Structure 1
Amino acid sequence: MTAPDPRPLLTRALGQVGDLVAATPPEALDAPTPCDDWDVRTLLAHLVGVHRRIAHVGGGGLFSEVSSMPDVAADRLAAELAAARADVDRRWGLDGSDAPVLDRELTVPWGTMPGRFVGFGYVQELTVHAWDLAAATGRTAGLDDALAAAVEDTAHRVLPAEPRGGPIPFGPPVPAAPDAAPTARLVAWLGRDPAFAAGTLADR
């Protein structure tokens, strides 16, 4: 059975990240995030790298040819993310073009597989990092839980509770409340504490 087209969800995941980044004020750049040793500035640079990688592998390149942590000036982060997003749209056909990416074999950190599976992997990564940014800046209330719900079962299947650490860049699962929303459940499974809150900017 052929996996469904991930691009509608990928479009939403990219849009969610883009909106959060565009609305992140300069005074938030030094705030801590749920990612160990990363502040918001570091997370935003990583998101630029992730966008560039999505575009690059969509065009047939190797993920390792693009840094996941580029050196981007603070005042260029939003602009560089937007430029990379435009490349993603073009190479993945999110702009309506007929990009033959879904059945092309792509190489990403978690293996070599058809683009339709890679797309869902990037939906997961973008959804989790959207939560990281939202949690760091007090904006988790508006997140798109449907994105997390769409990839939650796959996350449990491909990332078992053990082993973690080393080449698997996730800590052990964190307990989530029984009534937790899908995004909270997803980030908890991937080792984030759903209770993380740096507070709103007004609190700092």
Structure 2
Amino acid sequence: MADHLDLEPAARRLADLAAATPDSRLDGPTPCTGMDVAGLLDHVMMLAQAFRQAADKTGSPDDGPPPEASGAHLPPDWRVELPRRLDALAEAWRSPSAWEGETAAGGLTLSGQEAGAIALNELVLHGWDLARATDRPYRCEEWEAQVSHDFAASIPDVPEAREGLFGPVVPVPDDAPLFDRALGLSGRAPDWSPGPRQA
């Protein structure tokens, strides 16, 4: 992995998908079990702030894990605030100091390198989640897929290691595209669909 990863493309894709998400889809399902689209957007709001603080070294392990995401927590101005937070996140990780030393996110102490890779992974996977939940295509760069694959592969497929992070590994053929394999390792079925919408 390169010392510094560019989070801006993944952050911009996610911001664009969010901006084009109609209110009528906010209560729809997502690939994240038990989480609707509004809850997913609330989660992205929180992770954008937490990993921006990780880049700035202003987070602390004492902050603990984030609260459970819920659409009820999504602020009325989320269409303005979410892109702002994603832009700030990407900009913060442009600083070389973000990748140095130790930092904290989600109540965990991490190296700057680990935190940056996790932040990218979150942006890529949740970009795909939002695209799938709203019946839109999603494409990431091969190097982004590699980062997500390598991170997901590093998490043992046992409940205690994956709780709050990923669901159980979904089997994907060895010759499937790299991003499909990354999705499977992260507990997602690459062919997931929200199903038909009620009229």
SS at match of 2:40: helix
Task: Confirm or deny: 8 A CA contact 1:145 1:181 kept in the other structure.
Answer: no
Equivalent residue, structure 2, for 1:175:
171
| Residue 42 (structure 1) shift | 0.6
Letter in 1 for 2:180: A
Equivalent residue runs for 1:112-151 within 5 Å: 112-139=109-136, 141-146=137-142, 147-151=144-148
Distance in 2 (CA, whole Å) between partners of 1:25 and 1:143 is 21
Unaligned runs of 5+ in 2: none
Give the unaligned 5+ runs of structure 1.
none
Q: Which amino acid aligns with 1:42?
A: G
Change (3 A) 1:179 1:134: farther
SS in 2 for 1:101: helix
Q: Which residue of 2 aligns with 1:7?
A: 5
| Aligned partners of 2:155 and 2:161 also within 8 Å | no
- Identify the residue that residue 180 of structure 2 maps to in structure 1: 184
Matched with 1:29 is 26
1:72 corresponding residue in structure 2: 74
| Fraction of identical pairs, as percent | 28
Displacement after TM superposition at 1:23 (Å): 1.4
Aligned residue-pair number: 192
Kindly provide the amino acid, as one letter, of the partner of residue 74 in structure 2.
Answer: V
Amino acid at match of 2:81: E
* 1:166 CA displacement: 7.0
For residue 142 of structure 1, report the CA deviation from its aligned partner.
3.2
Seen in structure 2, the aligned counterparts of structure 1 residues 36 and 110 have a Cα distance that, compared at 3 Å, is same
Instruction: Give, in angstroms, the shift of residue 6 of structure 1.
Output: 3.4
SS in 2 for 1:106: strand
Matched, 1:102 2:99: yes
TM-score (norm 2): 0.82
Q: Is the 8 A contact 1:28 1:40 kept in 2?
A: yes
Displacement of 1:76 in angstroms is 1.8
Distance between the aligned counterparts of 2:194 and 2:92, measured in 1?
Answer: 36
Task: Please tell me the root mean square deviation across aligned C-alpha atoms, in Å.
Answer: 2.6
- Preserved CA contact (<8 Å) 1:175 1:188: yes
Maintained 8 Å contact 1:91/1:99: no
Instruction: Report the alpha carbon displacement of residue 180 of structure 1 after superposing the two structures with TM.
Output: 2.9
Q: Normalization by structure 1: what TM-score?
A: 0.80
Cα displacement (A) at 1:78: 2.0
